[in-house]
Amino acid sequence: MLNRLRRTVPYAIVFVATAVLFVFANRISFVAPGGRIGPDVWPKAILALSMLTCVFQIVKILFSGGSGEQVPGVLESIIEEAPADATVAAAPEPTYPHLIVGGIVLTVAYVVLIERLGFFLCTFAYLAAFAWIGRYRRPLVVLASSLVGSLLFMFVFMKVVYVSLPLGQEPFSQVTFLLMRLMGIR
């Protein structure tokens, strides 16, 4: 039973989230001419269908006799019928949960810091750190590819495609300005 309850968790979370959104949908303010349906009908219909789907799945998991079997899409059925030796990932692949935490933290840090450090410094640090987190352990290759990559990104997007990438704040912006001068970016 505990296993079944655990399997209902994702659907319960979606149900609660949609229920909360349904409450917000009730608060949409608008003036509709007589008889016309308002802008709340469409989102409410979607939310109601979403809640119904979740309830159906929760009930099915809890009371279907334990199999909790899902109806797969057509592609999944075809793959199941495929030749036995065809499965690409037959052996369970090892996973590295700590890497995913590191990757997400690093990516969030990039967005937080880009306006302060500027595009070049932030990108250089990100490229190097990401490759390192991704278990690539050749420091010279990591540093060289990060440096060349950041410079190339800066040149292509600022000089060729005219994207206004973040310059950074003092004193980091000085690095950006120096590089811009060297690349002839105005």
Partner 1 sequence: MLDVALSFLAAFHTVFQPVNLIALVVGLVVGMIVAVLPGLTLVMGVVLALPFTYGMAITPSIILLTAMYISGTYGGAFTAILFRIPGEPLDVPLLWDGYAMAHKGEPAKALGWTLFAAFFGGILSTLAAVAMAHPFATFALKFDSPEYFAIILFGLTSVVALSGASLINGFISLFLGLMIACVGVDSIYGAERFTFGVPMLADGIEYLTVMVGAYGVGEVLVRLEQGFQTPPVQAGGRVATRFPSIREAWGVRATLARSSVLGIILGIIPGAGATIASFVSYGTEAQYCKRRELLGTGIAEGIVAPQTASTATVAGHMVPLITLGIPGSGATAVILGAFLLHGVQPGPQVFVRDPGLVYAIFASLFVGVIGMCLMGYFAIKSLIKVLYLPEAVTSAFVVMFCFIGAFSARNNITDLWMIVIFGIVGYVFERFRFPIAPMVLGCILGTQAESAFMTSMISYQNDWTIFFTRPISGVVMVFVAIALGYPLLRHLRQKRDSRPPDGVSGARR
Of 142, 168, 176, 179, the residue at the interface with partner 1 (CB under 8 A) is: 142
The binder of partner 1 chosen from 117, 121, 127, 179 (CB under 8 A): 127
- Amino acid making up residue 101: V
Nearer to partner 1, 1 or 37 (CB): 37
Closest to partner 1 by CB, 152 or 178: 152
Which of 26, 81, 90, 184 contacts partner 1 by CB under 8 A?
A: 81
Q: Are 149 and 119 in contact (CB under 8 A)?
A: no
Among 59, 108, 178, 182, contact with partner 1 (rule: CB under 8 A): 108
Residues in 87-106 that interact with partner 1 by CB under 8 A: 88, 93-97, 99-100, 103-104
Quick check: 107 binds partner 1 (CB under 8 A)? yes
Could you say which of 4, 12, 40, 167 contacts partner 1 (CB under 8 A)?
40
Exactly one of 1, 29, 90, 184 binds partner 1 (CB under 8 A); which one? 29
In the chain, how long is the greatest CA-to-CA distance?
71
Minimal distance, residue 88 CB to partner 1, in Å: 6
Q: Quick check: 170 binds partner 1 (CB under 8 A)?
A: no
- Are the beta carbons of 170 and 116 closer than 8 angstroms? no
| Binding residues for partner 1, total number by CB under 8 A | 85
Per CB under 8 A, 121 contacts partner 1: no
Output the CA torsion 118→121→124→129 (10° steps).
Answer: -100
Q: Out of 5, 141, 178, 182, point to the residue binding partner 1 (CB under 8 A).
A: 141
Peptide bond into 171 cis (omega under 30): yes
Q: Is 148 helix (H, G, I), strand (E, B) or coil?
A: helix
CB of 177 to partner 1, least distance (A): 19
Is the CA virtual torsion 127, 132, 133, 134 positive or negative? Answer: positive
Under rule CB under 8 A, residue 76 binds partner 1 = yes
Using a 10 angstrom Cβ sphere, with 0-12 exposed, 13-18 middle and 19 or more buried, the burial of residue 68 is middle
| Packing angle of the helix pair 139-154, 119-133 (nearest 10 deg) | 150
DSSP state of 171: T
